[in-house]
Amino acid sequence: MPTYDFDLFVIGGGSGGVRAARMAGQRGARVALAEAAELGGTCVNVGCIPKKLYSYAAGYAEAFEEAPGYGWQFDTPRFDWATLKANRAREIARLNGVYRGLLDAGSVTLVTGWAHLEDAHTVKVGDAQYTARYILVATGGRPFVPDLPGRTHVTVSDGMFDLPDFPKRLVIVGGGYIACEFASIFNGLGAQVTLVQRQSHLLNTFDEDVREFLAREMGKAGVDIRLNAEVATVTRGHAPNAPLVVTLSRGQRLEADTVLYATGRVANTEGLCLEAAGVALDAQGAVKVDAHYRSSVPSIYALGDVSTKVQLTPVALAEAMAVVDALFGDGRRQVDYDYIPTAVFTHPNVGTCGLTEAEARRRYGDVTLFSSEFKALRHTISGRDERTFLKLVVDTASDRVVGLHMIGPEAGEVVQGFAVAMRAGATKAHFDSTIGIHPTVAEEFVTMREPMPG
């Protein structure tokens, strides 16, 4: 048997990589992890966590707007961008330390620097070389910006949290969850936001009713949504403090202080020398893996955004547990990708679990739909015109609820609970027989009785 420096060498210190490293270490494996940046990956540093914090910040603007309806009187509030940035940075630094503590608790050797493969069992970081029985690639993804005139003038999502100055005019290009979330955040914080989307709708993979309802609500809140629009160029004038100018393919010109491109993400495999080690990549540059997260090289595994089509932090964590179990356990743990709940932290929030109506029709043929749209109790005297939308998709033959969708307050919190029931096989009859909590928005899911026509 060959002798290796480590049993497992993990490349990437994001959520999936840290989880795999520390759990393998706790099982007695000799583990090292290489990371060139701060621990925690995209989610902690420039993704889920700071984005949710900024979403909370934007929510206070809505609360201030609603407060007079509930009898509160106060002077006009003032938002300070520098304070938000500083407080966010302090919290992220704390979380970086938490992740370091998790690695220490698993007796994981942390190697600082950019790693690349030399062969199927060898990793090089700087001038140092390490061998391992298994190598796990968990380097995540990075924002993708298409090649266009003026590409150097645009910003990606990673840079939005620490902009030197708050953008009074923000143009966002894209229509996915990142674009929509940042549109809601900066609109709430006081920016004039224009969202440019080349397709005819937002949130391409979501239910059609959800897409249309969210676009209306975001529009009512003040986001200028331009559908079926494409950017031709991004330019900046030569005068001091000249604005950026976004010219659309039909000739319209939009002035902006910042242009955010949120046009998707790609696997972060560049510079890892994966091909030299024999690791096969797909057309988009992601690592090809089998059902057990093993690449084309038997000793090299990959998980998370660098290889999966379900790019969610909890999915990466689940995949990490499956990999560790396969390598250092009984190999029984598997990840079930059905009924994965997810949320979009727009204003209002989106929460969803299971199939869209279109997906359900393709899979089951005959489906029964239930939906409800209303003004939540909070807004009956808040003065705001925000509305809430809920939808159930039911397989008619089995009565099983196969899709659940919500746009409204704390949609993610609400849908998380229903996801448990859906994974357990809950039917519409189960929903109907459940007593609701009154008065809540969530109770509407168990009181909808009349199917949608057609």
pLDDT 10s digits, 32-42 = 999 999 999 99
Using a CB cutoff of 8 Å and minimum separation of 24, what contacts does 154-157 make?
154/234, 154/259, 154/260, 154/261, 155/258, 155/259, 155/260, 155/261, 156/260, 156/261, 156/262, 157/46, 157/47, 157/182, 157/260, 157/262
pLDDT at 276: 87
Q: Are 225 and 197 in contact (CB under 8 A)?
A: yes
Which residue ranges form the domains of the chain, and what is each CATH number?
6-142+266-328 (3.50.50.60), 151-263 (3.50.50.60), 342-446 (3.30.390.30)
Nearest to 34 by CA among 53, 49, 14: 14
| CA dihedral of 251, 256, 258, 264, whole degrees rounded to 10 | -30
H runs (alpha helix) in 128-255: 177-189, 208-221
For residues 151-166, average pLDDT = 97
**Residue 454: band (very low, low, confident or very high) from pLDDT cuts 50, 70, 90:** low
- Other Cβ atoms within 10 Å of 62 Cβ, number: 16
- Amino acid (one-letter) located at 309: K
Share of the chain above pLDDT 90, in %: 97
Q: Are 403 and 395 in contact (CB under 8 A)?
A: no
| Polymer length in residues for the chain | 454
The model's pLDDT over 117-145, given as tens digits with 9 standing for 90+, comes to 999 999 999 999 999 999 999 999 999 99
3-state secondary structure of 259: strand
Within the chain, how many helices (H) and strands (E) appear?
10, 21
Active site residues: 438
pTM exceeds 0.95, yes or no: yes
pLDDT at 240: 80
The 8-class DSSP code of residue 231 comes to E
Distance CA 99, CA 88 (A): 17
pLDDT at 167: 98
The model's pLDDT over 389-419, given as tens digits with 9 standing for 90+, comes to 999 999 999 999 999 999 999 999 999 999 9
**Residue 1: band (very low, low, confident or very high) from pLDDT cuts 50, 70, 90:** low
- Other Cβ atoms within 10 Å of 435 Cβ, number: 8
Average pLDDT, the chain: 97
State yes or no: pLDDT of 256 exceeds 80. Answer: yes
